[in-house]
Amino acid sequence: MNVKILDGGFGAQLSTHVNEKVDGDPLWTSKFLVTNPNAVYATHLDFLKAGADIIETNTYQASIPSLMKHLSISKEESIKLLHKAVHLAKTAVNDYTKEVINNNDVENKNPMIVASCGPYGASLHDGSEYNGAYGKITPRENIIQWHKSRIDAIINAGIDLLALETIPCYQEAEAIIEVLREYPNTKAWLSFSCEKNTQKIVDGSNFQELSTRCYKTLPGQIVAIGVNCIAPKDVTPLLKNINMGSGNDFIPLIAYPNSGEIYSPNEGWIKNESCAPLESFIPEWLEFGIRYLGGCCRMYAENIKSIRKAVNNFKKSKEQ
């Protein structure tokens, strides 16, 4: 069983390196590509040292239109900033691999770099990325061109994979599939924003039907489908049936939940004592077919260490 360990919440870990508020800026952590690139580099390195096989670029909120608007820079300068984000991740990987080259105890000696691509709705700053309402009113061509401009720049900078993540509506998922057809040599994973306690993405679409349809539309190009930024306890209902039953081709799954804490616009993240730790769910998730596993908001480098340990313990139990 080949399971890739992802990194965690970039903003959470970045906050350990800066003495200022990370949340609240229109560009989120992407602003630190300009204001504190050393902290961005250090955050990547933290996750690598924690055992991540895959790190994501600090580009979730860094679309070209958003960079131009909120930094008052040109399109060309915005493209260069996306290239810088990839370069910082590459530098961290290069430095890390040199450091561990002779350490036989290290499992992640060849880390991959994945380009983080958040949804169109995140650029609107009206909360619509949490319900996908824009899918009904935004022309598909607008969504396609918005994604394509960033993907063009990031692919040209040289990455291993695309992370098309937190997708909240079926219209955007279909637009993304159309975009990916233009890059047949680039692989990607597709991860959805889903409702809790249901089997739906946040716009009400059936998660299993939509995600498996997307996967089968581009076989071999989409490496996994799944969910991110949802409480660990809500992952199981979404993923448990995708690989059930005979006759179905195996579909690699991905999950990178948040900490399970509750977010309030007024109070920020609030501890949720009723949420079991992510590690307690890992054995059943691996049985479902999860092959990419990590963390999202409020998941630190220490959490990634715990995830890798839990995955290794599961593998050992299977060998006995």
How many domains is the chain built from? 1
How far is 316 from 308, CA to CA, in rounded Å? 12
The annotation status of 214 as a binding-site residue, yes or no, is no
How far is 96 from 82, CA to CA, in rounded Å? 22
Query: For residue 52, with 0-12 CB atoms within 10 Å meaning exposed, 13-18 middle and 19 or more buried, which class applies?
Result: buried
Asked if residue 246 has pLDDT above 60, the reply is: no
User: Computed over its alpha carbons, how large is the radius of gyration of the chain?
Assistant: 18
Q: What is the pLDDT of residue 159?
A: 97
The two three-digit tokens of residue 77, written as one number: 């300068």
Per-position DSSP letters for 167-232, written without gaps between them: E--HHHHHHHHHHHTT-TT--EEEEE-B-TTSSBBTTS-BHHHHHHHHHHHSBTTEEEEEEESS-G
| Residues 230/195, Cβ–Cβ less than 8 Å | no
The closest of 229, 249, 102, 66 to 163, measured between CA atoms, is 229
Asked if residue 266 has pLDDT above 80, the reply is: no
Asked if residue 277 has pLDDT above 60, the reply is: yes
In whole numbers, what is the pLDDT of the chain averaged over residues? Answer: 93
Could you list the residue range(s) of the whole structural domain that residue 253 is in?
4-319
The annotation status of 275 as a binding-site residue, yes or no, is no
Chain segment 66-98, per-residue pLDDT in tens: 999 999 999 999 999 999 999 999 999 999 999
Task: CATH number of the domain at 148, please.
Answer: 3.20.20.330
- State mean pLDDT over 23-35: 92
The annotation status of 297 as a binding-site residue, yes or no, is yes
